[in-house]
Structure 1
């Protein structure tokens, strides 16, 4: 009865961390198994919150374990099999073309967006440095970057670069 009542809520909690439907379903089942084991320690205070906390910690533990596994495999492979590849002339040319296309695209942006985007992404300045350079408030820099990212998602396509 408890599982039927809370399964959708627990799925949402685990999915918010896992970002994968199948993994979230597995974590939901694991949460209910852990719930049964932990029932003797339940102190009759907010069952849904208590169960949500178990689900969240289960999902976080799974995420950390998966990330650790990836790091272990990467750290093992790098020293032994690391082969330095030189960029071919073709790759360098493609990279230069891509950078040039990005610069042209930035130039085509509305003025208030263009200045902030150029300073932040090309010149790699902080919000405070941009605010000082453009003589605007730091919060304005943050707002313009937010709006410019929204503008870029709307008007730019990855294929264009």
Structure 2
């Protein structure tokens, strides 16, 4: 009896958000399930307003879920489109020249920073691996990298590498 009396009203509320007949019908059914579950908590104040709020919230939740799903699907599409784009010979040469400039710049650094910077940034070793190789404490490696970064900010310019 409850469904028969309010089905058109609930449909109108869900359709106002969904803008699709099939989806509004599905949301109407879902709303009635939620209403039946929530009946024990109803406090005898404006039944039609109460069920309208449930219908509206159900439709909004559905809309948000749909939107999130679309965002998730599009985020998976991006990497697929960018799989192995071949570099032109010019870009490859520029990249190689930039690497050479960076290595030359590292060699121009003070000797106590050079090995630590090269191992950390070029060879991608951890503090522990560098400390073991250079026979020093990890804290010393950390401090040298900190000072090396400070030195680089002072003496290097971005234009030197582009």
- Runs of 4 or more, structure 1, over 6 Å off, are none
Q: For residue 83 of structure 1, report the CA deviation from its aligned partner.
A: 6.2
Q: Residues 88, 134 of structure 1: CA spacing in aligned structure 2 closer, same or farther, 3 A cutoff?
A: same
Structure 1 pair 136/83, CA: closer, same or farther in 2 (3 Å)?
closer
Give the RMSD, CA atoms, in angstroms.
2.2
- Could you tell me how far apart the structure 1 residues matched to 2:77 and 2:124 are? 33
Question: Could you report, residue by residue, the CA deviation over 1:2-45 in whole angstroms, capped at 9, with x for unpaired residues?
Answer: xxxxxxxxxxxxxxxxxxxxxxxxxxxxxxxxxxxxxxxxxxxx
SS of the residue 1:151 aligns to: helix
The 3 A distance-change label for structure 1 pair 82 and 132 is closer
Matches within 5 A, 1:129-140: 129-140=129-140
Q: Identify the residue that residue 160 of structure 2 maps to in structure 1.
A: 160
Q: Indicate the residue corresponding to 1:50 in structure 2.
A: none
Q: Unaligned regions of 5+ residues in structure 2, if any?
A: 1-67
Give the 3 Å change call, closer, same or farther, for CA 75–155 of structure 1 in structure 2: same
Indicate whether 1:141 and 2:144 are aligned: no
Q: Which has the larger radius of gyration?
A: 2
Q: TM-score, normalised by structure 2?
A: 0.51
Aligned to 2:89: 89
Partner of 1:116: 116
1-side partners of 2:159 and 2:75: how far apart? 30
Q: Shift of residue 84 of structure 1?
A: 4.3
Q: What are the equivalent positions in structure 2 for 1:5-154 lying under 5 Å apart?
A: 72=72, 73-79=74-80, 81-82=81-82, 84-154=84-154
Q: 1:140 to 1:93 in 2, by over 3 A?
A: same
What displacement does 1:104 show? Answer: 0.1
How far residue 141 of structure 1 moved from its aligned partner, in angstroms, is 0.1
Q: Which runs of 5+ in 1 are unaligned?
A: 1-67
